């Protein structure tokens, strides 16, 4: 039975619809092709089965399908899944699209590659739910499979922290992004105002921010082995020049996994 949960900011489709032009401009969607080439070089999956968790409008799922990967895209937002479906049709690729919450979706032993791209991790007030997501990702991998998580790391955020940031679209719409670090540097609280044709819509949301070490330790706790951190998809070091935090971890190929998990559990 599905758990009953309180409504959270990411459950609001209006948020994703209003922010769509800022989050997913054509340039970012087009970039996915190059990103996917780098992801494959970094992860070297054992076969062509892939899960794009929180796939949004399908940027990565579609780029992967065009390279012959057979994929599942999972997302909770109908508006974004509709965009993904329409784009996949236009690109003539077949992908399984599922509307599900990342806390619930698990398809055991199914994928060689599991992706969480463009800061799709750290959404829950209850931090144990982030652990549930990591467990789901781990369980959905085939033995020997690999997972890649890409987000804005805490170290990078501390380096570039600016307030506020204003983004303008060619049609005159404006996004004013104000943010605050809260809860002892564990979270960022955002207030985004979209101003379009003189009308203002305000969206407030909070994300958990992870340092490289915090993310790596959590991945190890659910069983990921050989977790490596990178500062970009080219595979450069996660150091003071890092632009993003990329964590790559493998599900061990052998039965040693149970032992490893037991060893790192508190």
Ligand X SMILES: C[S@@+](CC[C@H](N)C(=O)[O-])C[C@H]1O[C@@H](n2cnc3c(N)ncnc32)[C@H](O)[C@@H]1O
Interacting residue ranges for ligand X, rule: CB under 6 A: 10, 16, 23, 54-56, 59-60, 75-77, 80, 101-102, 117-120, 123
- Smallest gap from residue 55 Cβ to ligand X (A): 6
Nearer Cβ to ligand X (52/220): 52
Terminal-residue alpha carbon distance, the chain:
29
- Smallest gap from residue 231 Cβ to ligand X (A): 18
- Smallest gap from residue 19 Cβ to ligand X (A): 9
Nearer Cβ to ligand X (59/251): 59
> Residue with the closest Cβ to ligand X?
56
- Smallest gap from residue 31 Cβ to ligand X (A): 10
* CA–CA distances in Å: residue 120 to residues 115, 151, 208: 10, 7, 11
Calculate ∠ Cα 244-184-203, nearest 5°.
65
Report d(CA 112, CA 110) in Å as an integer: 7
Of 57, 63, 54, nearest to 31 by C-alpha is 63
> Phi and psi for 101 in degrees, rounded to 5?
-80, 140
Nearer Cβ to ligand X (49/77): 77
Nearer Cβ to ligand X (104/214): 104
Nearer Cβ to ligand X (56/249): 56
- Smallest gap from residue 260 Cβ to ligand X (A): 27
Which two three-digit tokens encode residue 12?
Answer: 């609001």
Report d(CA 29, CA 96) in Å as an integer: 19
Contact 102, 76 (CB under 8 A): yes
């Amino acid at each position: 039975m599905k758990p009953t949960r309180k409504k959270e900011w990411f459950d609001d489709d209006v948020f994703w619809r209003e922010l769509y032009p800022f989050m997913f401009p054509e340039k970012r969607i087009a970039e996915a092709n190059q990103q996917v080439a780098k992801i494959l070089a970094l992860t070297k999956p054992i076969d062509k089965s892939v899960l794009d968790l929180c796939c949004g409008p399908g940027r990565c799922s579609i780029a992967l399908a065009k390279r012959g990967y057979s994929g599942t895209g999972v997302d909770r937002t109908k508006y974004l899944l509709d965009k993904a479906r329409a784009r996949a049709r236009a690109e003539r690729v077949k992908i399984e699209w599922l509307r599900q919450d990342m806390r619930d979706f698990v398809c055991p032993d199914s994928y060689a590659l599991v992706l969480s791209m463009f800061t799709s991790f750290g959404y829950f007030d209850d931090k144990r739910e982030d652990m549930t997501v990591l467990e789901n990702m781990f369980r959905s991998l085939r033995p020997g499979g690999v997972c890649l998580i890409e987000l804005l790391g805490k170290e990078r955020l501390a380096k570039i922290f600016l307030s506020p940031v204003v983004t303008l679209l060619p049609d005159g719409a404006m996004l004013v992004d104000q943010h605050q670090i809260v809860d002892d540097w564990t979270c960022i609280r955002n207030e985004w105002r979209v101003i379009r044709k003189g009308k203002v819509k305000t969206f407030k949301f909070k994300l958990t921010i992870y340092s490289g070490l915090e993310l790596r330790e959590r991945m190890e706790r659910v069983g990921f082995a050989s977790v490596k951190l990178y500062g970009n998809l080219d595979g450069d070091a996660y150091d003071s020049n890092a632009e993003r935090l990329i964590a790559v971890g493998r599900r061990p190929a052998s039965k040693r996994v149970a032992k490893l998990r037991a060893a790192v559990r508190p």
